[in-house]
Amino acid sequence: MSSTGDGRWRESDAPIALVVEPAFWQTSWFQLLLAAMCGVLGFAAYRLRTRQLTRQLNIRFEERLAERSRIAQELHDTLLQGVLGASMQLHSAVDDLPADTPNRQELERVLLMMTRVSDEGRVAVRGLRTESGDDLEQALCLVQQEYASRNSADFKVTVEGRVRTIHPLIRDEVYRIGREALVNAFRHARAKIIEVELEYGSRHLRMLIRDDGCGIDANILRTGLDDHWGLSGMRERAHRIGGQLTLSSRAASGTEVELVLPATVAFTPASGTRP
């Protein structure tokens, strides 16, 4: 309100609008920029941590690969060569024995056992010595050939996505999980259809094995059988390589085994792609 020089005041007042501008840290654009910066820093920290973990896993895998190669070399040069030498000497001694010697049959059984041990040892050494040229899908296809004469189930392997190079140790562990699932399907499931799906995704490697067999009892699926380590071994292998293993089965409805691995763990850093 205002007054004149003689002290008289106006009867009506006049409104005046005042606007207080916010400080720059109170503006919406600054708050959005701050949120964006926090998001970028958080993503950068996540990427840095992921790379550190991947580098640590690769170092650990390389150490394990070197140790496996060393063990395979030691087994081949000592144990297998020793068993082979003893087997050859025993074979020569058995050949020199007359056919009617009382202990000849027992010695022949021992010789057969030594031959079997030698063959199994070679298979174990071959498994320890990783061959980078073996494809996972081809290795899984070979499992069916072992049971072709005893099982007539339809078997199919499907590959989705562009195939990428899997780290050798990861490939071996994935193969052993898949082999165990396939062996169970061929030997125990009495299935008519057995399928394998391999998915090479941009963010993961996925393996799914399903059959239409008799299924697995829920208690066995959860705890396994006494003195049988197949299911527990699959879980341990999946945990060891940082994968997620899912086992599902119902009576007379078949079994599904699914393994999912992050791409940063499964694939080599410089892995190329091929159709």
pLDDT (mean) for 53-82: 78
pLDDT (mean) for 256-264: 93
Does any domain span residue 231? yes
Last residue in a domain, options 77, 94, 128: 128
Does any domain span residue 8? no
Which one has a higher pLDDT value, 162 or 108?
162
What is the structure's pLDDT at 197? 95
Own/partner pairs, 50-58, CB within 8 angstroms, 24+ separation: 50/264, 53/264, 54/264, 54/265, 54/269, 57/242, 57/265, 58/167, 58/269
Are 114 and 143 part of one and the same domain?
no
Whether 42 shows a pLDDT value over 90: the answer reads yes
Give residue 94's domain range: 45-128
What is the structure's pLDDT at 155? 92
What is the structure's pLDDT at 133? 46
Domain with 191 in it: what CATH number?
A: 3.30.565.10
Last residue in a domain, options 106, 128, 150: 128
Which one has a higher pLDDT value, 117 or 244?
244
Are 193 and 265 part of one and the same domain?
yes
What is the structure's pLDDT at 132? 45
Q: How many residues are given for the chain?
A: 275
Three-point CA angle 235, 240, 246, nearest 5°: 30
What is the structure's pLDDT at 134? 55
pLDDT of 241-258, one tens digit each? 889 999 988 776 789 999
Task: Provide the domain count of the chain.
Answer: 2
Are 158 and 236 part of one and the same domain?
yes
Whether 111 shows a pLDDT value over 60: the answer reads yes
pLDDT (mean) for 47-64: 82
pLDDT of 198-208, one tens digit each? 999 999 999 99
Across the chain, mean pLDDT equals 82
Which one has a higher pLDDT value, 207 or 103?
207
pLDDT of 212-235, one tens digit each? 888 877 777 666 665 556 788 888
Does any domain span residue 34? no
Are 85 and 195 part of one and the same domain?
no
Residue 164 CB contacts under 8 Å (≥ 6 apart), including other chains: 200, 267, 268, 271, 272, 273
Whether 77 shows a pLDDT value over 80: the answer reads no
Which one has a higher pLDDT value, 209 or 222?
209
From residue 253, alpha-carbon distances to 25, 168, 179 in Å are 62, 34, 21
Last residue in a domain, options 110, 128, 146: 128
pLDDT of 157-177, one tens digit each? 999 999 898 888 788 889 889
Q: What's the pTM? A: 0.57
Which one has a higher pLDDT value, 237 or 150?
237
